[in-house]
Amino acid sequence: MAADLLSSKMESSMHITTKTVGDDRIRRAKENDEDIAVLSTFLPEALDDAKSTRNFDCALGYRCLLGDSRKAPAGTKKMEYKTRQWHEKCFCCVVCKTAIGTKSFIPREQEIYCATCYEEKFATRCVKCNKIITSGGVTYKNEPWHRECFTCTNCNTSLAGQRFTSRDEKPYCADCFGELFAKRCTACVKPITGIGGTRFISFEDRHWHNDCFICASCKTSLVGRGFITDADDIICPECAKQKLM
């Protein structure tokens, strides 16, 4: 068998590409159980010491494009990958049926895919734009997004790496969530979002940031203390006594 091509894995560990090497390199690769695909030529049986031509059986079986899976015409080529063999024309993408030749391919569950068909069928797609995520995506609610697609529902600001919260399963930046949905502090009228562990006080139908929950008279913090309501104000017990004197 006159072998002349060897495939090696790319850094992605999925795509298998080809390069021309010598017989010695192929022999070493097989001995080391490397993940290789070898393209070689059928020799006349009289010259084939290993009799591999006689033992050949195309992996496509009854689907063999030559009509006979055991056919091995001298001078034509075959592809070997793992423990299986194909006629060169039969070593094709399972989806588009294009012959792989010396192009890159991806093996999956006993099938062979060209790079384009593999990406179309198996690649991770962004839940927002439905395009393939090649690198740097983010996951939200167990769904994949491009970083640039994962944005605030209201203002479209990127949320990748930022604090955010959700409403009705939709993500919002802290500013938009506060403006649209959050309770507002009775004292400063700014939103109380609770994002980042913000603490707040609620009393009846009113709410305060912790820092805003202070006596209206002496400005002392009332967090964790008793207080008295005085119309719309809240005051500490000491100031309430002063008012009664």
In this prediction the pTM is 0.48
Which one, of 16, 154, 146, lies nearest residue 93 by Cα?
16
Centroid of chain to Cα 72: 43
Q: Which two tokens stand for residue 57?
A: 């059986």
- Sort 16 into a burial class: Cβ within 10 Å, 0-12 / 13-18 / 19+: buried
Per-residue pLDDT at 2: 27
Q: Is the dihedral of CA 189, 190, 194, 197 positive or negative?
A: negative
- All structural domains of the chain with their residue ranges: 151-181, 183-244
155 pLDDT band (50/70/90 cuts)? very high
Q: What's the mean per-residue pLDDT of the chain? A: 79
Domain 183-244, CATH homologous superfamily name and number: Cysteine Rich Protein (2.10.110.10)
Instruction: Give pLDDT tens digits for 165-206.
Output: 888 888 998 888 888 887 888 888 888 876 555 678 888 888
Reported as a single tens digit per residue, the pLDDT across 8-46 is: 332 333 455 555 555 666 667 666 666 677 888 876 665
CA dihedral (141, 144, 148, 153) positive or negative: negative
List the helix and strand counts (H, then E) for the chain.
5, 17
